[in-house]
């Protein structure tokens, strides 16, 4: 099972839904939903239809469709292109009766309307399932640590190492598994993208630092020198807000 499939199955089981429940609400065939969870992309139809199924499934589960499609692109890679050889026909004698321009335009508009109905009507759930909400992150106040300098009478104080002074918020992200990350420092987005496994990135802010992680199980955070550990489970989307001491 792929990371994307595991994320889809865990979120569905959190809602206590079966594949049959989701298929009835989204109008997506149950075997297609099972193929998405098992990472069996060869069992899916064309790539554009598979993307539509995945987007609808992600919305029903309360997941970010952009992040979900990004994981799908990483796992499936570029779709295989099918070459179609042109078919040659023997020359035909032109008919003396040609269709009117109005009839051709009418036929083209009818085909376009049917295609739009299929894409926006058929793939969209008829009655949306209750979306899962991520509990808002609680801002963490950083307070300065006090170091005792008292010495016993008659003893000579030993030299001490001056600790690093943090004037704001500094977060070091150690990536052990590919993770999509968005960072907002003091209200300004400073980064959005995928950090590869083995990457270490440092972000800082004067007042507050907001970080969304699309794969919290692959991110360890060291905040102002304090190791906060791994931020969640593999495939879990987690929001964190850290604020400096006023």
Q: Is the pLDDT of residue 42 over 60?
A: yes
Read off the pLDDT band of 46 (50, 70, 90). Answer: confident
Asked whether residue 8 falls in the same domain as residue 110, the answer is yes
Residue 87 included in any domain: no
For residues 95 and 200, the model is more confident at 200
Q: How far is CA 11 from the centre of its chain?
A: 13
Once rounded to an integer, what is the mean pLDDT over residues 148-166? Answer: 50
Average pLDDT value for the chain = 78
pLDDT in tens, 169-197: 999 999 999 999 999 999 999 999 999 99
Asked whether residue 116 falls in the same domain as residue 224, the answer is no
- Residue in the structure block whose two tokens are 């796992």: 75
Asked whether residue 110 falls in the same domain as residue 18, the answer is yes
Asked whether residue 108 falls in the same domain as residue 199, the answer is no
pLDDT confidence of residue 135? 53
Residue 10 included in any domain: yes
Asked whether residue 107 falls in the same domain as residue 10, the answer is yes
CA 13 vs CA 9, 16, 104, 230, 233: distances in Å: 6, 5, 50, 23, 15
Full-prediction pTM beyond 0.85? Answer: no
pLDDT in tens, 124-142: 444 455 555 555 555 555 5
Residue 90 included in any domain: no
On whether the CB atoms of residues 57 and 49 are closer than 8 A, the answer is no
pLDDT confidence of residue 92? 58
Write out the residue range of the structural domain in which residue 179 sits.
Answer: 140-146+165-243
Structural element, H or E, at residue 35 = helix 30-38
Residue 221 included in any domain: yes
Least confident range of 70-79, 128-137, 141-150, 220-229: 141-150
For residues 198 and 116, the model is more confident at 198
Asked whether residue 111 falls in the same domain as residue 181, the answer is no
For residues 123 and 43, the model is more confident at 43
CATH number at residue 13: 1.10.260.40
What total number of domains does the chain contain? 2
Which stretch, 31-40, 47-56, 160-169, 176-185, has highest mean pLDDT? Answer: 176-185
pLDDT confidence of residue 147? 39
Q: Is the pLDDT of residue 62 over 80?
A: yes
Read off the pLDDT band of 37 (50, 70, 90). Answer: confident
Asked whether residue 116 falls in the same domain as residue 180, the answer is no
Residue 115 included in any domain: yes
154: Cβ–Cβ under 8 A, 6 or more apart, which residues? none
pLDDT confidence of residue 146? 38
Q: Residues 150-179, buried b or exposed e (16+ Cβ, 10 A)?
A: eeeeeeeeeeeeeeeeeebbbbbbbbebbb
Residue 134 included in any domain: no
Q: Is the pLDDT of residue 2 over 60?
A: yes
Asked whether residue 114 falls in the same domain as residue 211, the answer is no
Q: Is the pLDDT of residue 122 over 90?
A: no
Read off the pLDDT band of 107 (50, 70, 90). Answer: confident
């Amino acid at each position: 099972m792929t990371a994307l499939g595991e994320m889809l199955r865990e979120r569905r089981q959190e809602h206590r839904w079966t594949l049959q429940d989701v298929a009835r609400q989204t109008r997506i065939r149950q075997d297609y939903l099972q193929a998405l969870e098992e990472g069996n992309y060869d069992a899916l139809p064309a790539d554009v239809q598979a993307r539509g199924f995945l987007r609808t499934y992600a919305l029903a589960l309360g997941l970010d469709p952009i992040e979900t499609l990004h994981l799908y692109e990483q796992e499936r890679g570029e779709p295989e292109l099918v070459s179609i050889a042109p078919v040659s026909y023997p020359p035909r004698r032109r008919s003396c009766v040609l269709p009117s321009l109005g009839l051709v335009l009418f036929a083209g508009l009818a085909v376009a309307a049917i295609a739009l109905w299929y894409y926006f009507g058929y793939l969209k759930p008829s009655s949306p399932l209750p979306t899962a909400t991520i509990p808002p992150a609680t801002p963490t106040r950083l307070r300065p640590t006090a170091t005792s300098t008292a010495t016993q009478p008659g003893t000579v104080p030993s030299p001490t190492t001056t600790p690093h002074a943090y004037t704001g918020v500094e977060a070091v992200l150690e990536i052990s598994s590919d993770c999509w990350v968005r960072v907002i420092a003091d209200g300004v987005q400073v980064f959005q993208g995928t950090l590869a496994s083995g990457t270490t990135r440092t972000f800082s802010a004067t007042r507050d630092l907001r970080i969304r992680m699309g794969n919290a199980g692959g991110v360890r955070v060291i905040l102002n020198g304090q190791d906060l550990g791994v931020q969640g489970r593999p495939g879990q989307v987690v929001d964190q807000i850290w604020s400096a001491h006023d």
